[in-house]
């Protein structure tokens, strides 16, 4: 089994966000990777009006998923669930989806389908430039409050501008209809409150909860590693 991690909005260098759990998995012989997302500027394409959006993100992730027939677990975090819904659809190698404080869109839904009446206070939106990002002064307290200080400091340099295009572009497929799925509710998440996660999780095949903030794969990597390994064992019939 391999693990493909699809990171959330407004960040870059997915392998860094994933590394605390990825290193534990590697010790157990499980490889992982995190595709670069064009909408977050990770592939060098210019952002802004007309820049890369969900379509390009889906293509980038699908390319990685379809590159091998090795049984694959997709771990999608936050906005990553929007991407994974379409990118994993119809890819034979994908055996399971693990949605972490994520969205499970149906066909025709977009990221904006899950928003409130106005933008959340932790985002900095620039309509003129066609980009948005997370406010640096809100990052640690909203998304990383249960992570150690070193991670909080490093994370500031791992945020990214992202194309506003991702907000309105709808998905054209919903893999969770046909692929086994588990939703990990992060009960102490200050970015996506747990009650909203539980509502989203109704579409998943099963639900587990962890007393963690928005990035449990950084704050509680052993717990996430164990969950991933248990899914792999289940798929292997162990």
Helices within 105-166 (DSSP H only): 136-143, 149-156
Q: Is the pLDDT of residue 179 over 60?
A: yes
pLDDT tens track for 54-93: 999 999 999 999 999 999 999 999 999 999 999 999 999 9
pLDDT tens track for 203-215: 999 999 999 999 9
Domain of residue 204 covers 2-236
Q: Is the pLDDT of residue 238 over 60?
A: no
| pLDDT at 236 (0 to 100) | 64
| pLDDT at 232 (0 to 100) | 85
Q: What contacts 108, CB < 8 A, 6 or more positions away?
A: 170, 171
pLDDT tens track for 146-178: 999 999 999 999 999 999 999 999 999 999 999
| pLDDT at 118 (0 to 100) | 78
Side-chain-facing half-sphere of 41: CA atoms under 13 Å: 17
Number of domains into which the chain is organized: 1
pLDDT tens track for 8-54: 999 999 999 999 999 999 999 999 999 999 999 999 999 988 899 99
| pLDDT at 235 (0 to 100) | 67
The phi and psi torsions of 74 (rounded to 5 degrees) equal: -95, 120
| pLDDT at 85 (0 to 100) | 98
Beta strands 31-33; 2-6: pairing state: parallel
CATH of the domain at 88: 3.40.50.1820
Quick one: residue 88, left, alpha or beta (phi over 0 = left, psi -120 to 50 = alpha)?
alpha
């Amino acid at each position: 089994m391999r693990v493909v991690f699809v990171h959330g909005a407004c960040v870059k260098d997915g392998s860094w966000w994933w590394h605390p759990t990825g290193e534990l998995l590697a010790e157990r012989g499980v490889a992982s990777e995190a595709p670069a997302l064009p909408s977050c500027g990770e592939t060098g394409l210019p952002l802004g009006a007309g820049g890369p959006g969900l379509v390009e993100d889906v293509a980038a992730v699908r390319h990685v998923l379809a590159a091998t027939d090795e049984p694959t677990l997709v771990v999608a975090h936050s906005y990553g669930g929007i991407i994974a819904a379409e990118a994993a659809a119809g890819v034979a190698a994908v055996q399971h989806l693990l949605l972490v404080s994520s969205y499970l869109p149906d066909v025709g839904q977009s990221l904006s389908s899950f928003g409130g009446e106005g933008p959340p206070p932790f985002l900095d939106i620039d309509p003129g430039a066609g980009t948005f990002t997370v406010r640096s002064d809100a990052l640690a307290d909203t998304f990383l409050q249960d992570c150690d200080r070193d991670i909080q400091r490093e994370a500031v340099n791992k945020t990214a501008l992202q194309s506003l295009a991702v907000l309105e572009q709808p998905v054209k497929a919903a893999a969770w209809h046909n692929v086994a799925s588990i939703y990990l509710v992060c009960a102490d998440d200050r970015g996506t409150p747990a009650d909203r996660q539980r509502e989203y999780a109704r579409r998943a095949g099963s639900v587990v909860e962890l007393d963690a903030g928005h990035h449990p794969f950084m704050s509680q990597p052993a717990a996430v590693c164990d969950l991933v390994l248990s899914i792999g064992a289940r798929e292997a019939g162990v």
